[in-house]
Amino acid sequence: MAAASPCSGCCFSRRRLLPLPNNKRTPFLTVPFTNRPLCAIKCEHYRRRCKIVAPCCGEVFACRHCHNDATASGDRHTICRQDVEKVVCLLCDTEQPVSQVCINCGVNMGEYFCDVCKFYDDDTEKGQFHCYDCGICRVGGKENYFHCAKCGSCYAVALRDNHQCVENSMRQNCPICYEYLFDSLKGTRVLDCGHTMHMECFSEMVEHNKYTCPICSKTALDMTHHWALLDQEIEATIMPPVYRYKVWVLCNDCNKVSEVDFHVIGHKCSHCNSYNTRSTSRPADLSGSSSPSTSDSSENNP
Ligand SMILES: [Zn+2]
Ligand SMILES: [Zn+2]
Ligand SMILES: [Zn+2]
Ligand SMILES: [Zn+2]
Ligand SMILES: [Zn+2]
Ligand SMILES: [Zn+2]
Ligand SMILES: [Zn+2]
Ligand SMILES: [Zn+2]
């Protein structure tokens, strides 16, 4: 039976009128009716018509995240999604091997179903799709994503040929909250340097006036306007004569050193104009008793 209509029988079971085809069991729903949208169970994560049997502990949960949350305090362990073998139909309470349609009552247990991830979800507006390179289901619409083999994850099509690839960039923990990024339920942001973090962790970082990648210290936002403001401020703030000396800075953006005027407001890289610099010692190849020009000329005049 194809369960095409939005209600495939659970409304009947609500009225306790549904005799099962084989009369084996009475309709029984394991979730309370209150707050329960018609036709499906809705946990914090998904809407579907089955629960899963955890392969690790044999207990029944709405979804693997519910299982992981429940075991987070205490006997902490997580479900490997591909390992789920059994589900329990919410309508007829039949425990059965994973498939989209209940073998007993024929209800469609999830509008979206992936038999690799053993994943069910009725909210198809999320645009779920399975990426065979990632090996997991993703959301956001297949047409909006491509898989970057080097970064090891699916990225928005806008980033195709338009991002700095970092080997397995997404197979890391978020540098802010330390959650593993690859299969995180939260959106991620790819910084200009190619490193990744949660979208919301990025926003929080910017709110705290931090504009650099926590991993490599490169500028993470377009700072053109901000740098122009610093130019103006520096021009308007004359340093007293005692502070008029030169310092060496290393640029976090282009990794080059330059010798610049000391200023309390900031030091601008003379190569790429970024103020994302830090003071450094005089480069080794320029230090010593003779000046660079002298050593050059001595090399040219053996
Ligand atoms: Zn859940
Ligand atoms: Zn069923
Ligand atoms: Zn999948
Ligand atoms: Zn992918
Ligand atoms: Zn890449
Ligand atoms: Zn994070
Ligand atoms: Zn970075
Ligand atoms: Zn620079």
From CA 139, how far away is CA 280, in angstroms rounded?
45
Residue 224 belongs to some domain of the structure: no
Residue 300 belongs to some domain of the structure: no
Extended beta strands in 157-208, E state: 188-190, 196-198
Distance 195 CA to ligand 5 centre (A): 10
Q: Which of 99, 126, 153 is the last residue of a domain?
A: 126
Shared domain for 17 and 122, answered yes or no, is yes
Query: Does position 15 have pLDDT exceeding 50, yes or no?
Result: no
From CA 82, how far away is CA 222, in angstroms rounded?
41
Residue 217 belongs to some domain of the structure: no
Q: Which of 84, 103, 126 is the last residue of a domain?
A: 126
- SS3 of residue 48 by DSSP: strand
Distance 248 CA to ligand 2 centre (A): 72
Residue 291 belongs to some domain of the structure: no
Extended beta strands in the chain, E state: 41-42, 47-48, 50-53, 60-61, 86-89, 95-97, 112-114, 119-121, 129-131, 136-138, 145-148, 153-156, 188-190, 196-198, 246-251, 257-261, 277-280
Residue 177 belongs to some domain of the structure: yes
pLDDT for 283 equals 83
- Shortest-distance ligand to the CA of residue 191: 7
pLDDT for 123 equals 93
- With pLDDT > 70 as the criterion, what percentage of the chain qualifies? 81
Ligand 7 is an ion; residues with CB less than 5 A from it: 193, 195, 213, 215-216
Domain of residue 56: give its range: 10-126
Three-state secondary structure string covering 119-149: EEECCHHHCCEEECCCCEEECCCHHHEEEEC
Distance 6 CA to ligand 8 centre (A): 59
Distance 192 CA to ligand 7 centre (A): 7
pLDDT for 36 equals 41
Distance 207 CA to ligand 1 centre (A): 31
The answer to whether 2 and 8 are in contact (CB under 8 A) is no
pLDDT for 16 equals 34
Residue 180 belongs to some domain of the structure: yes
pLDDT for 287 equals 55
Distance 227 CA to ligand 8 centre (A): 12
Distance 263 CA to ligand 8 centre (A): 17
Give tens-digit pLDDT for 46-102: 999 999 999 998 999 999 999 999 888 888 888 999 999 999 999 999 999 999 999
The answer to whether 265 and 234 are in contact (CB under 8 A) is yes
We report the CATH number of the domain holding residue 279 as 2.20.28.10
Distance 91 CA to ligand 2 centre (A): 5
0.75 exceeded by the pTM? no
From CA 220, how far away is CA 208, in angstroms rounded?
14
pLDDT for 39 equals 60
Domain count, the chain: 3
Query: Does position 298 have pLDDT exceeding 90, yes or no?
Result: no
